[in-house]
Amino acid sequence: MTLQSGQDFKPSDYNADNIGTPYLTGASNIAENGDLIINRWTEKPTCIANTDDVLIVCKGSGYGKITICTIDYAHIARQFMAVKKSEFIDTKFMKLFLVSKLSVIKNNGQGLIPGIDRPSVLNLPFPLPPLAEQKRIADVLERALGAIDKG
């Protein structure tokens, strides 16, 4: 698993004018349904999340929110970590795994302000069934969770 940490910008390095690369700053960029809300851009991107990376809010209010990146290219602030897409790991499986381990990850939070540190994610024992089995598990879990939400 490859984990990309984010980096903040000073206000002069981003804009609200749709100029440059989308800039994701924290939990406020994730809608209730998991969609991304883009309201800032930068012309100096360095810490990049791509389509199908799993985004984790690791600092600030809303820490622990997890979603899948649905845009091609975005700069992430330090309030985010991105589990980079892998040809060996189904993105939905990775997201569901992280959601299932969220209490463990949060319990390892460090400092006065709650947060999620890199070792808490990187050191999780990760089951790695074959890719087809990961997809099957993710599909079954998504259907079950959807039925629970409707119920």
Residue-wise pLDDT for 13-53, tens only, equals 999 999 999 999 999 999 999 999 999 999 999 999 999 99
Q: What is the pLDDT of residue 8?
A: 96
* Rounded Cα gap, residues 139 and 105, in angstroms: 24
Query: What DSSP assignment string belongs to 84-147?
Result: --BTTB-HHHHHHHHHHTHHHHHHT--SSS-B--HHHHHTS------HHHHHHHHHHHHHHHHH
pLDDT of residue 110: 60
pLDDT tens-digit series, residues 58-107:
998 889 999 999 999 999 999 999 999 999 999 999 999 999 999 888 88
Q: HSE on the CB side for 22, CA within 13 Å?
A: 16
Per-residue confidence at 151, pLDDT binned at 50, 70, 90? Answer: low
Q: What is the reported pLDDT for 107?
A: 81
Per-residue pLDDT band at 57 (split at 50, 70, 90): very high
Quote the pTM value. 0.91
Are the CB atoms for 87 and 52 separated by under 8 Å?
Answer: no
Report d(CA 94, CA 73) in Å as an integer. Answer: 20
